[in-house]
Amino acid sequence: MGESGREEYKIQSFDAETQQLLKTALKDPGAVDLEKVANVIVDHSLQDRVFSKEAGRMCYAIIQAESKQAGQSVFRRGLLNRLQQEYQAREQLRARSLRGWVCYVTFICNIFDYLRVNNMPMMALVNPVYDCLFRLAQPDSLSKEEEVGDPGLDGPGGESRCLLSMEVDCLVLQLHRVGEQLEKMNQQRMDELFVLIRDGFLLPSGLSSLAQLLLLEIIEFRAAGWKTTPAAHKYYYSEVPD
């Protein structure tokens, strides 16, 4: 019941008609156009960073409800098709809206985190997620600073962050969330990603001290087996400026 309440809370940012559509999809998926529902969720995720962090749980609930009711996967197919469309146009999205791009990466990582096939992450999402994270780790992404301070942020700094690359912020948050799962699916690509991250940490100029701090934190986080040691937690959370 608590889980249902959390789902209800997440759809309050939608208009009344869309809220009703989503509520019906969660309770009686056969009564609505599930491809439309998938598009509504993706569209909103590209605009709302807080929602993009949590939409995976809602998508998982709809997929489970549809499977239980009809043994079908119309919603999942529509969701994955739309994710693929956005993935193929990711450079255009990034050029058009950096915030939209960061929302997309957050969303696809969230979907990767929640969707399972035989209790395993979906192989079809592994390389697209890696490709997105590799893009976040490029030098032009690491050094491009924007104002960051969304209430939905977590990790070192939280709301106190001011000038920071949104892409650095996103990269570190998503690796905290799905890095361990991704590494189990393809360790070679994770090794290559962290070569990029280490190179980025050593950029001679253009990288803020806060970005360097976050990159160092994620390097140490992985080295410790995807865990934060008490000493590291104390250091990174105390060193981030107010």
Asked if 235 and 128 sit in the same domain, the reply is yes
Residue 160 is assigned to a structural domain of this protein: no
pTM: 0.86
Residue 83 is assigned to a structural domain of this protein: yes
Residue 107 is assigned to a structural domain of this protein: yes
**Quick one: CA torsion of 183, 188, 190, 194, rounded to 10 degrees?**
150
Residue 6 is assigned to a structural domain of this protein: no
> CB neighbours of 173 closer than 8 A, spacing ≥ 6?
106, 153, 154, 155
7-64 pLDDT, tens digit per residue, is 454 677 789 999 999 999 999 999 999 999 999 999 999 999 889 988 999 999 999 9
pLDDT at site 153: 41
Asked if 126 and 235 sit in the same domain, the reply is yes
Give the domain extent around 175. Answer: 121-143+165-241
| Last residue in a domain, options 117, 134, 155 | 117
Domain count, the chain: 2
CATH number for position 37: 1.25.40.180
- Measured CA to CA, the distance from residue 190 to residue 133 in angstroms comes to 10
Contact 79, 31 (CB under 8 A): no
